[in-house]
Amino acid sequence: MESTIEFLEYHVGFALEEHDETHAYLRVGTEHHSLELVHDPSLTTFRYDGVGFTVEDEAVLSDLEERVRAAGHEVLPLTEGMKGLCQQGFAVVDPNGTVVELFTGFLEYAETPWPDLRPQRFVHPFVVTDRYEETLNFYMNVLGFLASDYVEDFTAFLRCEDRYHHSLAVRRADRYALEHACFIMGDLDGVMRRRARAQHKRVRILGDVVNHSASTSIAFYLYDERHGPRWELCDGHRVFTPEEHETHRPRRLKRDPRNIDVWRAASDDRTWAH
């Protein structure tokens, strides 16, 4: 775990907070943490156990709990670690076995960590799943996420109340996994400086500088199998206006490399395909 923390501090820009030999909280903004690491020597690769979402207030939390119960899902208590970090909340297991925690009053720090090319915030997890329809039904019809765009019947980009183009992306696959985690840098300069660090240390870049058509972000993806999924660092992720958030109709995009990265030269240019 120590080497993973070092990797995430240097290459992604996390600040290490509370930690011991078996557990660590890391953050990028004022929220108590953006990432929680748990040491498990039995693992041969990383495991994605859970994700948390802050909800606006007690009324929204209560409504979500009713929707979860009505859909036949078991309402679970928050994990022990989260209970002391928020005012109230509950957990539910999604169709892939991932624990989703919903809560209000998440603890925060007065200031962001000392500047060091740090991301501004965590934007989204991108998961692949062999339960694509069930996963979309859970997040959209139970938890209330909205579709921003689809790539045929293959990928869905879902947004929530922060109005980012997607706070969750789901892709059809023959397995379940966290494919990547995305963080917004403050500007393009920060993205390119992080990319330079990865190149300098010869860290693999799986998806070099790309211009996403759906979210309008410019990003790159770095990867070391010893330290989790791919880490996406981006700038310019689209934020819907309040009006767009209410009226937007999702597009159904063709599975064409140019619909993932507008800088691809042609429909058969798979220099990098998501």
| Span 69-85, pLDDT tens digits | 999 999 999 999 999 99
pLDDT value of position 265: 87
Number of domains forming the structure of the chain: 2
* pTM of the complete model: 0.90
Domain boundary among 104, 137, 159: 104
Whether residue 33 is found in the same domain as residue 140? no
Sheet containing strand 15-19, edge to edge, reads: 15-19, 23-27, 35-38
DSSP lists the bridge partners of residue 38 as 23
Whether residue 16 is found in the same domain as residue 75? yes
Helix (H) or strand (E) holding 88, with range, is: strand 88-93
pLDDT value of position 165: 98
Q: In CATH, what number is assigned to the domain containing residue 184?
A: 3.10.180.10
Whether residue 86 is found in the same domain as residue 191? no
The percentage of the chain sitting over the pLDDT mark of 70, rounded to a whole number, equals 99
pLDDT value of position 272: 57
DSSP lists the bridge partners of residue 253 as 151
Helix (H) or strand (E) holding 63, with range, is: helix 58-70
* pLDDT tens digits, 178-187: 999 999 998 9
Question: 109, 130 in Cβ contact below 8 A?
Answer: no
Domain boundary among 78, 104, 130: 104
Domain span holding position 137: 121-259
Whether residue 135 is found in the same domain as residue 233? yes
3-class DSSP state for residue 148?
A: strand
pLDDT averaged per 10 residues in sequence order, the chain, 274 residues: 94 94 95 96 93 97 98 97 96 98 97 87 97 98 98 97 97 97 94 96 92 94 94 97 97 91 86 54
* pLDDT tens digits, 194-228: 999 999 999 999 889 999 999 999 999 999 999 99
Strand pairing category for 218-223 and 230-235? antiparallel
Considering the domain boundaries, does residue 266 fall inside one? no
Distances in whole angstroms, Cα of residue 175 to Cα of each of 19, 94, 127, 130, 171:
32, 15, 10, 5, 10
Considering the domain boundaries, does residue 90 fall inside one? yes
